């Protein structure tokens, strides 16, 4: 609006000035002749193109992206990927670099999900390698490819321990908010989603102290969640290790397969963590965990009641009752089936008044 009013105000002031200097027709004519006759130093080259008329310059549309994950919780399912890399030089002049690659799949109706982290050259709690987390049918699995064959998968089931998708792989967590991002394109289709395209520089970042930074973000028009996020920043690295490493960090985030993921598949080592079909677990069991065939859980029932449960249920599954040992409230039961032996240890939980139970199917000898 100000640019539109400026030429109008100038014209109005010129008219007022002319009227004040004289109202006769001759005065107006003399003024016009003076304006039309250039001086020697201001002569106009007739071959020069005319000066362009002033035009309105639109102000770029901006918005804050302080909540860059938007409405991920409203999606039925998705897969997302985040890649972060760093390369720089430490105080000794040595080159240091590292990468983190993270992927996540999520299904809202079941809360089933899978997250994988591949870290190389990082110094985050001294960890490197590939780590995977699954949550399927209310059980959480921690899977490590590099671990020995007997320790590749650890599982547990607990309301308190269940993975929370709102705390994992959210762009706002690892790069903070963006202020006054400039709109540079509308209705761009990215990863199959109609998006608005924004760009930002160092001035738009509300986090970190970088010597330079720039990036782009694509926000879904319907839903407001981030579909793609690219960025690069230079400065002191505090993500991959020592804070005295100067270098450049680059990141790329993509949200894909929106509302099309229908299952999370467990690796065989994790699928085998479930109790055998003929080894029952009480319905009221909580805090269930499984590691290398060792099953543990807690029960609100007393050790005596848990022991009675297994004396009734195991024969119904074809198990024979073996040795039994009782020492105060500690009870050990043994059951056999063909070449298999199952040991059950039941101990009192003094805090809850219930029991802690451990089931161990012994290896054949």
Question: What are the tens digits of pLDDT across the range 43-95?
Answer: 545 555 555 554 444 556 888 876 655 578 889 999 999 998 888 887 778 88
Taking alpha carbons only, the member of 356, 358, 359 closest to residue 298 is 356
- What's the mean pLDDT in 214-220? 91
* pLDDT surpassing 80 at residue 165: no
Question: What are the tens digits of pLDDT across the range 301-341?
Answer: 999 999 999 999 999 999 999 999 999 899 999 999 988 89
**Lowest mean pLDDT: which of 154-168, 195-209, 343-357?**
154-168
What are the beta bridge partners of residue 98? 86
Q: Which residues of 1-27 are buried (b: 16+ CB within 10 A; e: fewer)?
A: eeeeeeeeeeeeeeeeeeeeeeeeeee
> The tokens of 331 are what?
């009870």
pLDDT category, 299, cuts 50, 70, 90? very high
**Lowest mean pLDDT: which of 20-34, 75-89, 163-177?**
20-34
CB count within 10 Å of CB 49 equals: 6
Of residues 261 and 328, more confidence is placed in 261
Taking alpha carbons only, the member of 61, 62, 63, 65 closest to residue 177 is 65
For the chain, the domains span: 72-256, 275-362
**Lowest mean pLDDT: which of 43-47, 80-84, 101-105, 251-255?**
43-47
State residue 302's pLDDT score.
Answer: 95
């Amino acid at each position: 609006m100000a640019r539109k009013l400026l030429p109008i105000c100038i014209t109005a002031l010129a008219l007022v000035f002319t009227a004040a200097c004289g109202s006769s027709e001759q005065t107006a004519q003399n003024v016009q002749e003076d304006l039309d006759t250039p001086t020697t130093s201001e002569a106009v080259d007739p071959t020069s193109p005319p000066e362009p008329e002033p035009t309105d310059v639109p102000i770029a549309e901006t918005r804050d992206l302080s909540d860059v994950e938007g409405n991920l919780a409203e999606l039925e399912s998705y897969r997302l990927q985040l890649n972060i890399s760093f390369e720089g030089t430490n105080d000794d002049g040595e080159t240091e670099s590292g990468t983190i690659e993270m992927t996540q799949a999520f299904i809202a109706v079941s809360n089933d999900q899978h997250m994988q982290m591949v870290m190389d050259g990082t110094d985050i709690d001294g960890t490197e390698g590939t780590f995977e987390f699954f949550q399927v049918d209310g059980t959480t699995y921690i899977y490590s490819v590099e671990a020995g064959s007997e320790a590749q998968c650890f599982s547990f089931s607990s309301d308190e321990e269940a993975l929370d998708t709102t705390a994992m792989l959210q762009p706002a967590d690892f790069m903070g908010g963006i202020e006054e991002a400039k709109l540079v394109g509308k209705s761009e289709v990215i990863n199959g989603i109609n998006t608005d395209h924004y760009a930002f520089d160092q001035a738009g970042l509300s986090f970190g102290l970088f010597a330079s930074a720039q990036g782009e973000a694509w926000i879904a028009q319907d839903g407001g969640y981030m579909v793609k996020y690219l960025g690069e920043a230079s400065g002191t690295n505090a993500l991959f290790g020592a804070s005295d490493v100067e270098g450049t960090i680059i990141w790329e985030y993509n949200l894909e397969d929106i509302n099309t993921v229908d299952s999370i598949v467990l690796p065989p080592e994790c699928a085998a963590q479930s109790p055998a079909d003929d080894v029952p677990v009480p319905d009221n069991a909580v805090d269930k965990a499984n590691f290398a065939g060792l099953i543990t859980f807690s029960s609100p029932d007393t050790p005596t009641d848990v022991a009675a449960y297994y004396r009734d249920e195991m024969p119904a599954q074809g198990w024979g009752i073996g040795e039994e040992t009782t020492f105060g409230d500690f009870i050990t039961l043994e059951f056999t089936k063909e070449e298999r032996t199952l040991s059950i240890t039941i101990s009192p939980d003094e805090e809850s008044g219930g029991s802690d139970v451990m089931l161990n199917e012994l290896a054949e000898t």
